[in-house]
Amino acid sequence: MNTHKKIIVPLDVPDLQSAIALVDRLPLVDFWKVGLELFTSSGPAILEVLKSRQKRIFLDLKFHDIPNTVAGACCAAAGYGVDLLTIHATAGQDALKAAWSAVQEGALQAGVKPPQLIAITLLTSISSRQLAIDLKVPLELPEYALAMALMAQECGLSGAVCSPQEVAQLRQICGDDFLLVCPGIRPSWARKADQKRSLTPAEAILAGADYLVIGRPITGSDDPQLAWNQIVEELTTLA
C-alpha cells in the first residue's frame, strides 16, 4: 500500500462547511475520519460528500452502551457503507459480540459491504498514572491494553485502536491479520497537546501499525498541505 494511504486524517471540525473546506484543502488525503464533533453537529451529510469523492471513511462514534443499544447503533451505522467503525472494548464481551452481529446485519439490509468493527483499547489521552489513580485499574497499562485487544479479537472484531506505544506488543500477540489503528501520532516537530502516549509516524509504522490517525499536526498547521507532505516524506523513506 502507498504510504500516504496509511494516514487517516480526522475531520475534527464544528460543521459541514468547515469539513468540506478541509477536504478541499487536502486533496491527496484518501482516508478521512468522521468523529463525534462533526457527526453530532451535522449528522451523516459529510459521509455522502466523502463517498462522492471516492474517499475511504472511518466513522469513529466510539459506541459504549448496553448490548441492545450498541447493536441498534451499529446496525444503523453499518448501513452508511463506511470502512471502519469504533466501539469501546469496555462495553464488554456481550456488547462487542452484539455489535459485531449487528454490523453484519445492518450492512446486509442496506446492501453494502460491512465496515470493519474495531475496539478502542484505552484512549491515548490516558497516562499510566491516570489509569491507576483515576480509573482504578490495577493492571500495568500495556497489560490492560493487550487484554482489551484480545477480548475484542475473541468477540470476532476486526481490530483495535491503540496507542503507538503498545502497537508492537499487540501486533506480536494478536497476529498480522488483526487491524491496528494508532492515533496519538506526533511528528518530532508537533505539539503533543492532550495526547499522552505518542510516537512519531515512522516509529508507529515500524512498530506495526496498519493505519495512523493524524489530526492537529496536519489540520492545525498554518499550511496543512506542507505538514501532510512532510509526514508522507518521512514515511516514504521507510518504504
Report whether 215 contacts 12 (CB < 8 A): yes
How near is the Cβ of 61 to ligand OMP at its closest, in Å? 9
* Angstrom distance (rounded) from CA 179 to CA 131: 24
Q: Which of 62, 113, 192, 196 is catalytic?
A: 62
3, 158, 165, 195: residue in contact with ligand OMP (rule CB under 6 A): 195
Transcribe 18-57 into DSSP letters: HHHHHHHH-TT--EEEE-HHHHHHHTTHHHHHHHHTT-EE
Residue nearest to ligand OMP (CB): 215
String marking each residue 161-180 x if it binds ligand OMP according to CB under 6 A: x-------------------
Site string for ligand OMP, 128-157 (x = CB under 6 A): ------------------------------
Q: How far apart are CA 201 and CA 190, in angstroms?
A: 11
- Cell of residue 100, nine digits: 459485531
Query: Is 62 a residue of the active site?
Result: yes
Which residue ranges make up the site for ligand OMP (CB under 6 A)? 10, 12, 33, 35, 60, 86, 120, 123-124, 161, 183-184, 195, 213-216
